[in-house]
């Protein structure tokens, strides 16, 4: 009897062991990071000319150039990936026509909204709204990306006791 009990406990313990090397679960929400990795690869190979405008508090500077580091250029978009383990289950998902809308009301999640618009089953536009707020600092970012057309990062910063700052970086693809 003792042998059966020990065997039973051993089998239960063995059944409880999981495979820690198992691959991570698939994306629950839109795979923004994966989509941008594909876009970055495509843009690196095409090396398009971009008319880039940087505006700080209404003062703008524009240049035509070729982007040497698309990872860095689009990092604000990649950083807004919804599929972080800590954010699982924190986004509501809705659909309006050909647009998927992911929203979070959680204070700890800076990504407040992601809108993915599709045309003919291809992403035709992305819009991300990020918001960070604490007692000293409030920041709101709006990111827009339209493949082969435009990417834009708008940022509004309010730091207590300092003037509000507004930034805008716009890249228009030249064809």
> For the residues of 144-165, what is the DSSP string, one character each?
EEETTTEEEEEEEEEETTS--E
User: Which pLDDT does position 157 carry in this prediction?
Assistant: 93
User: Which pLDDT does position 27 carry in this prediction?
Assistant: 64
CA dist 136 and 125 (Å) reads: 33
Render pLDDT for 15-33 as a digit per residue (tens, 0 to 9).
Answer: 444 443 334 445 689 999 9
Which helix (DSSP H) or strand (DSSP E) does residue 13 occupy? Answer: helix 2-16
Give the closest residue to 104 by CA, choosing from 124, 116, 121, 88: 88
Render pLDDT for 88-147 as a digit per residue (tens, 0 to 9).
Answer: 999 999 999 999 999 998 888 999 999 999 999 999 999 999 999 888 989 999 999 999
CA dist 66 and 111 (Å) reads: 29
* C-alpha distances in Å from residue 11, one per residue of 4, 5, 6, 145: 10, 10, 9, 54
Residue 27 CA from chain centroid, whole number: 13
More confident residue, 83 or 10: 83
Q: What is the mean pLDDT of the chain?
A: 87
pLDDT at 71 over 50: yes
> 71 near 80, Cβ under 8 Å?
no
User: Which pLDDT does position 165 carry in this prediction?
Assistant: 94
């Amino acid at each position: 009897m003792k042998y059966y009990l020990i065997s039973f406990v051993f089998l239960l313990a063995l059944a409880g062991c999981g495979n820690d090397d198992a691959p991570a679960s698939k994306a629950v929400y839109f795979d923004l990071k994966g989509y941008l990795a594909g876009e970055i690869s495509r843009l690196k190979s095409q090396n398009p000319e971009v008319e880039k405008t940087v505006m700080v508090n209404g003062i703008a500077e524009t240049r035509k150039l070729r982007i040497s580091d698309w990872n860095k250029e689009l990092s604000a978009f990649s950083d807004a990936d919804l599929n972080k383990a800590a954010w699982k289950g924190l986004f509501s998902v809705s659909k309006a026509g050909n647009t998927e809308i992911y929203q979070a009301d959680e204070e700890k999640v800076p990504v407040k909204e992601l809108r993915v618009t599709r045309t003919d089953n291809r992403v035709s536009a992305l819009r991300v709204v990020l918001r960070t707020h604490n007692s000293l600092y409030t920041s709101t970012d709006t990111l827009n990306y339209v493949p082969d057309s435009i990417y834009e990062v708008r940022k509004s910063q309010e730091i207590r006791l300092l003037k509000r700052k507004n930034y805008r970086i716009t890249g228009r693809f030249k064809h």
